[in-house]
Amino acid sequence: MAMPLTALETLNREFLEIRCRILDLAAMLDRLERSNDNVADDPRVKRIHEALDVLKTTHEDRAEQVQLTFSRAYDDNWQQALKVKPR
């Protein structure tokens, strides 16, 4: 069985990819802000900022919390609400 990587090994392996993704995200946000129209009131932008706030925390469940930020609350009647035919 392979041993899990240490934090330093993980950082050495992942640093450039993390850096790249952060730069991509920064560029996307810059494009939104430079656009002629304003989307600051769009609920999706609010969710993006909420997700970024989650990333600042030190909890181990950041990925789950970000996913929940972008997820709908569970609805027992989701098939009717989304007009999905039952199988």
pTM, full prediction: 0.75
- Assess if residue 45 is contained within a domain: yes
Return the closest-CA partner of residue 70 out of 84, 49, 86: 49
User: Does residue 46 sit in the same domain as residue 68?
Assistant: yes
62 in Cβ contact with 54 (< 8 Å): yes
Report DSSP letters for 12-63, one per residue: HHHHHHHHHHHHHHHHHHHHHHHSSS--TT-HHHHHHHHHHHHHTS--TTHH
User: Does residue 45 sit in the same domain as residue 67?
Assistant: yes
User: Does residue 49 sit in the same domain as residue 68?
Assistant: yes
- Assess if residue 87 is contained within a domain: no
User: Does residue 45 sit in the same domain as residue 62?
Assistant: yes
User: Does residue 17 sit in the same domain as residue 29?
Assistant: yes
User: Does residue 32 sit in the same domain as residue 56?
Assistant: no
Written as tens digits, the pLDDT of the chain (87 aa) is 889 999 999 999 999 999 999 999 999 999 998 988 888 889 999 999 999 999 998 788 999 999 999 998 888 988 888 889 888
What pLDDT sits at residue 58?
A: 76
- Domain range holding 20? 7-37
